[in-house]
Amino acid sequence: MTEKTARSNLAFPHRHLLGIEGLSPDEITLLLDLSEAYVEQNRLEDKKKSTLRGRTLINLFFETSTRTRTSFELAGKRLGADVINMSIATSSIKKGETLLDTAITLNAMHPDVLVVRHPYSGAVKLLSEKVNCAVINGGDGSHEHPTQALLDALTIRRRLGRLSKLTVAICGDVLHSRVARSNIHLLNTMGAHVRVVAPPTLLPASIGRLGVEVFHDMREGLRGCDIVMMLRLQTERMKGSFVPSIREYFHFFGLDYDKLSVAKEDALIMHPGPMNRGIEIDSELADDVGRSVIQEQVEMGVAVRMACLETLASNGVVGSAR
């Protein structure tokens, strides 16, 4: 056991990253601080390190993804790991293999980290109980998406210098959003004031227990806020109709310059992507580099995932019998 491994294990005493809920402010800060160094490294011509040389990362995505999967792939490769991407379309899942059989099969190949995205809340935790390696939740149903919340936090911290005491309005389809849930946990843990702005049909019944202020009107919810975080209308998770019409949704809940005018003058706009232009956000505003940090969020994603991979891979050496 090297000194470095022992230190990181003490500071981040978790084998897996399944969610933000339960992480302490110090643990979140540790991951964000480590990410900072990778932001710089990723801007260099030579972006490669050998920190994870000899280690194997498997991306196991049971749902479509552009940003998260490529970001984890780049993160692993830039740290020198061998990276395998499992495409569900060509895997034995199509032949009816269960989630746990797939997990046990992959586990037999001795990966060091598994990044898993799955349409069911709780599926990633279940899988983590069957394998010897570290598991990172790449998004499970409408439950959690921890690396998204971390990359959002890094984007905010780099722009505004802190997370505490900021007012963040999370707007739109909160009901189906794992991004919202992970962000609510992270921002509350770090001392920010969190508001959610949505029609009652797009809020979970449990919203009152999440420690947020609830608004059903964009102008009231956005008044004086530092950050406006927009969410995609997740129609693929909707059974039945949750909004009367797309036109009406944009009219009342779509972000445009007019609604944004009540937020702080320099309020930043965020969106995890993929965006529905003209549905939850005005297209011109989404591209307005003076206000929108959407591309910066993507950049921070690679750095945050490098920090998470490094932290968990070094914990694994100490924790596992291998």
Q: Please report, as ranges, the residues that interact with ligand NCD according to CB under 6 A.
A: 67-68, 139, 145, 148, 178-179, 232, 234, 272-273
Q: Least Å distance between CB 145 and ligand NCD? A: 5
Task: Find out whether 128 and 18 touch, Cβ atoms under 8 Å.
Answer: yes
User: With respect to ligand NCD, which residue has the nearer C-beta, 8 or 234?
Assistant: 234
CB of 138 to ligand NCD, least distance (A): 8
In this structure, what token pair is assigned to residue 246?
């797309």
Instruction: Give 154's Cβ-side CA count (13 Å radius).
Output: 29
> 86 and 116 in contact (C-beta within 8 Å)?
no
Which residue, 19 or 272, is less far from ligand NCD as judged by CB? 272
The nearer residue to ligand NCD, 8 or 156, going by C-beta atoms, is 156
Picking from 112, 109, 117, 106, the residue whose alpha carbon sits closest to that of residue 145 is 117
Yes or no: say if 189 and 24 are a contact pair by the CB < 8 Å rule.
yes
Q: Report the residue number whose CB is nearest to ligand NCD.
A: 232
For ligand NCD, give the closer residue by CB, 145 or 185.
Answer: 145
Min CB(68)–ligand NCD separation in Å: 4
167-171 vs 193-197, strand pairing mode: parallel
* Least spacing, CB of residue 236 vs ligand NCD, in Å: 9
CB of 172 to ligand NCD, least distance (A): 9
Between the alpha carbon of residue 54 and those of residues 76, 82, 113, the distances in Å are 11, 7, 12
C-beta closer to ligand NCD: residue 39 or 230: 230
Shortest spacing between CB 63 and ligand NCD, in angstroms: 7
| Min dist. Cβ of residue 270 to ligand NCD (A) | 11
What letters, b where the CB count within 10 A reaches 16 and e where it falls short, cover 186-216? bbbbbebbbbbbbbeebbbeebeebebeebe
Pick 76 or 139: Cβ nearer ligand NCD: 139
How far apart (Å, rounded) are the C-alpha atoms in residues 26 and 18? Answer: 17
Report how far apart, in Å, the C-alpha atoms of 6 and of each of 9, 56, 111 are: 5, 21, 21
Q: Give the residue from 319, 302, 312 showing the smallest Cα distance to 30.
A: 312
DSSP string, 99-149: HHHHHHHHHTT--SEEEEEESSTTHHHHHHTT-SSEEEEEEETTTB-HHHH
Q: How far is the CB of 269 from ligand NCD (least distance, A)?
A: 15
